[in-house]
Amino acid sequence: MEAIYNPRQEVEVRVDGIWRPAEIISIDSYNIRETRRGVIQYNIEPDNVRGIHREGRPRERDLRINSQVEFTQGNRWISGIITNTNYAVNMGNGRERVASYTIRPRGLQQPAPQPLALPAGPAFEVHNAFADLNLPKFMTVVRRENNDASNFKDPSNVLEPVVSYINSSDTSLSQEQKTRYTRNIRDSIRQNVNAYITDHPQVKEDTLEVIQFVLSQDPKYKDLYIETFENECMGGYSSGNRQSCTKGMFERIYMANKGTIEGLCFEELQGTSGVASTNAAASSCKPAYLELYSAFVPGSDIDINNIFQKWYNQFSYDAIPEETNPLRNLSVEARKQHFRDFVRQDEAITQRIWGNAEFQRKLEQSIQANNIIFETLSLDAGLGKRRRKRHTFKHKKKHNRKTMKQRKATMKRLKRNVMKGKNKIIRKTRGRY
């Protein structure tokens, strides 16, 4: 049964996977599913909600998840069922709205130790991103692809081979780009990079390997990498001194590969979350690029579908009969949150992985794909084994024509959106960090 919290009650609220102390202020609102249409209406204020078959509006604490209620919409009272209670809480920084499934009584369990937060702000973006890079994995792929080649290594000046390529006839860079990139690399960037390597000699060998890898790729890769690298070094910030710092310029030798791969492998990354698609070999995207990209994304090797299967095996109606299943009376959103908590507690999930935006996007994609199972807690329903209404052949034929027309329109729209997104990714590759 849903817990009901009272004003001034001390509780803990889960924020980014961490339980933080808080104090209840009041019930803020309810999320209610309309009985007739099945649509969820969010954040209905308590004054606009009343229990069905009661005289007057019941006290707020009488309303729980799955309570049958009526709520106002315009001048009408609409019947529905509460799917979640939202509380106003104070976590030391003023009033905030949080869902009931993210609250627990204080003292129920000792809060997990809070990890040290990474510095925030534009000046630290590239440093934080570099800290997320799985460098051993990244260098394993780079060295494998280089296969001991050294024709683009210059131990005395690691960036000089890049300048040589910029001024060669192999590149498709414009003359204006060649002039600007050569000037900025020779007059500013290489001095900072050489200074950093002098102070940190242990990074030199890896850096030479990265330059060797980049200059061994096709012109499309090299040209996009150079454009990304120069733009981010010289225009890393939107105001003040726009140049990146010495450490940032060094780190961008590695990080510019991420933006480059995003530009060349947009469709593969969007469609497969880092796994090579069947047509990758025929495009500018190579399987090795996708391997490298996964090193930039914490948790990219974690199979969320496998974790979902473990969750299903423990909490579905196949595992626990419906009449005794603890998730039976939870709303769909609460079941989804139960799964998120299950993922968070998996031994493979570190704080850095959990806090990564790309991992969270992948997690939410998995939840959306399994939405019907969260609704039914049944794999049969999830596989589309619901009972269907019988139709006459004439009706079915008409329905099929309409469905195909809708599918074609949807595919055209999706294709347009993908192309827009692809162009946007390529345009915004510069200045990503």
Q: What is the pLDDT of residues 53-82, one digit of tens each?
A: 544 444 444 687 778 888 887 788 888 888
**Whether residue 72 is found in the same domain as residue 205:** no
pLDDT in tens, 83-92: 778 899 998 8
pLDDT band at 1 (very low <50, low <70, confident <90, very high): low
pLDDT in tens, 359-417: 887 888 889 888 899 999 886 654 444 334 344 444 444 545 555 666 666 666 665 66
pLDDT at residue 390, as a whole number: 40
**Whether residue 44 is found in the same domain as residue 91:** yes
Q: Report if pTM > 0.95.
A: no
Query: Residue 176 domain-assigned?
Result: yes
Boundary of a domain, candidates 243, 277, 296:
296
pLDDT band at 251 (very low <50, low <70, confident <90, very high): very high
pLDDT at residue 204, as a whole number: 93
**Whether residue 89 is found in the same domain as residue 238:** no
**Whether residue 200 is found in the same domain as residue 287:** yes
pLDDT at residue 103, as a whole number: 86
**Whether residue 127 is found in the same domain as residue 100:** no
**Whether residue 66 is found in the same domain as residue 167:** no
**Whether residue 151 is found in the same domain as residue 223:** yes
Query: Residue 349 domain-assigned?
Result: no
Query: Residue 425 domain-assigned?
Result: no
Q: Which two tokens stand for residue 62?
A: 């009488």
pLDDT at residue 99, as a whole number: 79
pLDDT band at 148 (very low <50, low <70, confident <90, very high): very high
Position 160 pLDDT exceeds 90: yes
* Average pLDDT of every residue of the chain: 78
Q: How many domains does the chain have?
A: 2
Position 44 pLDDT exceeds 80: yes
What is the domain extent for residue 23?
Answer: 10-105
Domain CATH code at residue 85? 2.30.30
pLDDT in tens, 304-327: 888 998 899 888 888 888 888 888
Boundary of a domain, candidates 54, 74, 105:
105
**Whether residue 165 is found in the same domain as residue 261:** yes
